[in-house]
Amino acid sequence: MFHRPAARRRLATAAVALGLLCTLSTSAWAGARDASPPRHRTQTTAVASRAGSATGLSGYAIQSTAKVTDSAAAVSSPGYPASGWYPAGSRSTVLAALLADGKYADPFYSTNQQQIPKADFQVPWWYRSDFTVADTSERTYLDFSGVISAADVYVNGQQVAKAADVAGAYTHHELDVTSLVRAGTNTVAFRIQPNDPRRNLTMGWIDWLQPPPDENMGIVRDVLVRRGGPVALRDAHVVTGLDVPSLSTADLTVKARARNDSDSPVTTTVSGSIGAISFSKSVSLAAHATKTVTFAPAEVPGLHLTSPKVWWPAGMGGQPLYALDLTASVAGTVSDAAHDNFGIRDVKAPLNSDGARQYSVNGRKLLIRGGGWSPDEFLRWDRTYVEDRLKYALDLGLNTIRLEGHIEPDEFFDLADRYGILTLPGWECCDKWEGNGNGGEPGDKWTAEDYPVAGASMAAEAARLRDHPSVISFLIGSDFAPDATIEKTYLDALKAADWPTPVVAAASDKSSPVSGRSGMKMSGPYDWIPPNYWYAKREGGATGFNSETSAGPDIPTLDTLRRMMSPAELDTLWKNPSAKQYHRSPSSTFSTLKLYDDALTGRYGAPSSLTDYVRKAQLAQYENTRAQFEAYGRNATDSSKPSTGVVYWMFNSGWTSLHWQLMDRYLDQGGAYFGAKKANEPLHVQYSYDNRSVVVVNNRHASASGLTARATLFSTDGTQKYDKTVTGVTVGGDGARGTALTLPSTVSGLSTTYLARLVLSDSTGKEVSRNVYWLSTKPDTLDWDNTDWYYTPTTSYADLKGLSAMAQAPVSATASTTSSGDTSTTTVTVRNTDGGRTPSLLTDVHLVDGAGKPVLPVRWSDNEVSLWPGESVTLTATYRTTDLHGSRPRVRVSGWNTPERTVPAA
């Protein structure tokens, strides 16, 4: 995902993959619960006897093979003591389990992670778990994926699979262990091999963050014990065909594989239902034979739907889902069952006349506004934490999440389906996945053994993701497109799985032999550039589909910085731009904050303290992130070289980071977050850095008319220097734009640094959008000719130093809180009480508990607002009542030129 020279791209999409994530230790990372078992006790799971049941192993005892001298037969036999072993959750990397057990200090603080010895994870580790079976009359299978990097598998003392066959994080495995399972206690053991993403088709972190010392070795998806009769049902799914553009009818085709696992021929009855629609047929199967069973509208008229419930992305319509239930019966007894949820929608993504990929859903074009997803660094799964981040995506006005590798578990896509968030999963760059063609990046060339692993990985992920309506493509390449042989491997697997959406060659501007041009670009930037950069229709500017881009660093709030860095590190942070920052990246390209800090000083003035540094950082991050999304939003309906998609790099970080994030590890929000939220509001007035136009962008479906746009320019002392109002503004829907006015190139008496206030009102006079900019009569100047893969140099900076001379503007605040069920809402009214002309710039309101700590997560109606004397605004904050931890809520108000104060909000 990131790119270029062996200099290194961003740290590979770490981890979410697969359902990976270790259920185990939420407590070690988010302060949540720890369901881990007592130390030294082997996990025991009671397995259901019902045909068609699937029971996940509840956890493991784990230990390094360097400390286990017993044979594999002994380790994998019931009754083995596992004395001194560590408990691990049902989805857990080795290091995640050790962290949950308290073996190491918080790896998110300072350089603690460097103290964890890598050598401990360069040998295999044992994972063992016991399960009980009451009835052995049914067949028993082990069903799993998410092994990193490979594993020998044993059941009750017998080897049932070799590491050469259980390799790759995404491959799916089903082992028939019926002959080995006994009534009572049974044992399954995995001997997990060390991971090296440069050598294995697993996952790595590229330049995103400091990689975990264990390289995520472990089992990061559920291991299921399946029970069934002689006939197994597998691969149940629904192929949908929606009539576009009418959306008036849809055809459903139900498919599943019926497999006879017995030594004799059988006749099975496969029956199913989708709501009130029922269907059934008999299928004859020879011993150990498999047949695909299909139900189509031609034979089941009910599968031709009229007035289907159509699934839409958030903001475009609802998110209804259908449910498929299937059973296979033999002689009237259920042998197996299957269930599948699916949505009905149509996705197209042709290349436009400029060669850019243009997505449409159900016949309606949309600008992809997305963010790059990162899982927890240790692949720990916490549904609540993931759901909180997805709700943040909606709050930000984003419609898409891109997953470069680290493809999340099923629950992630269930949530995306429910919330209407589009997803772009795909393979990652800069390691073994692109080893055959990734230039100077690390990653071994493929051997004959890798092709089956890649094909099996693609087949497994295609089968898992195909019926999720939130999934709108698969990117078979990231920074590089696959060669012909590898592409055929992927495409054959996708075709066999009935993959329903566009397959994209790469996230970069690459082509593959069959899929052709990607229609995407990956031309940066990844480090600091000024806001006006985004308006140029070149490099990473607002044209085409930019699959990953941002102005790089994102300095968290002071609250978070103090949670993640030592006092000495904080001192270095603001004093020494050339210092290597452990919490930025292991890449030499991104190891310091020099580009960012030089720009911060050049534009705003040298920081005088840590607080001043953070204050300037929030201002800079707000303006830059806002400009990125505003430029792409403005250009989406251009007749020439329109913008079709932009993915902010990144949406979040898997650890405590200083770059590539719209919110920090603890879900606190600063300038980048609220700048993006402002830019992506449904009906929005904005300033254009390239031509000074004031534009209204309407992201709603319905057109807007009778609008009034007002633009006012002020010197930093609050003196008004220009004011113009335009009435009768009309803007179409679905991302259309209208130009209300253009600001003059010069205004008499305007200070070098000045403020622009834009206000949009509806036909009743109600304010529907407000946007405040800090600008300079001296613009930032870009050196386009010396553009590098990760940034374009700035030869002279805009002069925004006049902001430091702004007088203090007092802001009053009153707040109250109401609660309903598990949710509380705090309402805050802030008012600029200055008796003169000075506005309060970027006034931030933070919800805090009794100890002054931020209450997180929280969703604000708006924040970081700018008010002129006498103006007020009422904001609301919604959050979980339990996140107050029993204290009374308070609100902390501060801003660029506003003294900090905290008031009660009970």
Q: Provide the annotated active-site residues.
A: 479, 548
Please give the sequence-ordered ranges of beta strands (E in DSSP) within 507-543, or none if there are none.
511-512, 516-517
Taking the CA atoms of 374, 561, 816 and 814 in sequence, report the sign of the dihedral they define: negative
Q: Kindly tell me the sign of the dihedral angle through the C-alpha atoms of 646, 648, 649, 650.
A: negative
Q: What does the DSSP 8-state code read for residue 523?
A: -
Contact between 91 and 222 (Cβ < 8 Å): yes
Contact 328, 231 (CB under 8 A): yes
Return the ∠ at Cα 673 (arms to 672 and 677), rounded to 5°.
115
List the one residue out of 121, 19, 884 whose CA is nearest residue 411: 19
Terminal Cα distance for the chain, rounded: 46
| Contacts within 8 Å (CB) and 24+ apart, 25-28 | 25/89, 25/92, 25/96, 25/97, 25/99, 25/100, 25/378, 25/380, 26/380, 26/382, 26/385, 27/100, 28/96, 28/99, 28/100, 28/106, 28/378, 28/380
Q: Which of 135, 223, 248, 222 is nearest to 182 (CA)?
A: 135
Backbone angles phi, psi at 590, to 5 degrees: -115, 25
Q: Give, to the nearest 10 degrees, the angle between helix 567-575 and helix 610-634.
A: 60
* Cβ-contact 339, 617 below 8 angstroms: no
Residue closest to 511 by CA, chosen among 524, 501, 521: 521
Q: For 57-183, where are the E strands, in sequence order?
A: 59-64, 86-89, 92-93, 125-133, 139-144, 147-148, 151-155, 158-161, 173-176
What burial letters (b/e) apply to 677-708, b meaning 16+ CB within 10 Å? bbbbbebbbbbbbeeebbbbbbbbeeebeebb
- Token pair of 49, please? 């006897």
Q: What are phi and psi of 390, to 5 degrees?
A: -65, -35
Q: Are 173 and 221 in contact (CB under 8 A)?
A: no
3-state helix, strand, coil in the chain (%, to 5): 20, 35, 45
From residue 102, how far is each of 106, 111, 124 by CA, in Å?
9, 17, 21
Residues 6 or more apart in contact with residue 200 via CB below 8 angstroms: 148, 149, 150, 167, 168, 169, 432
The residue among 699, 761, 758 whose CA lies nearest residue 731 is 699
Q: Please, which residues bridge with residue 462 across strands?
A: none
Under 8 Å between Cβ of 861 and 830: no
Rounded CA gap, 487 and 433, in Å?
A: 12
> How many residues in total does the chain contain?
906
Q: Which two tokens stand for residue 536?
A: 């140029």
Minimal CA–CA distance to 103: which of 92, 113, 91, 111? 113
Q: How far apart, in whole angstroms, are the C-alpha atoms of residue 100 and residue 35?
A: 10
277 CB-near residues (< 8 Å, 6+ apart): 300, 302, 303
Which residue matches tokens 């970080």? 653
C-alpha to C-alpha distance for 885 and 860, rounded to whole angstroms? 20
Cα–Cα distance measured from residue 109 to residue 226, given in angstroms and rounded to the nearest whole number:
41
| Bridge partners of residue 829, in order along the sequence | 814, 874
Sheet strand arrangement including 147-148: 92-93, 218-219, 147-148
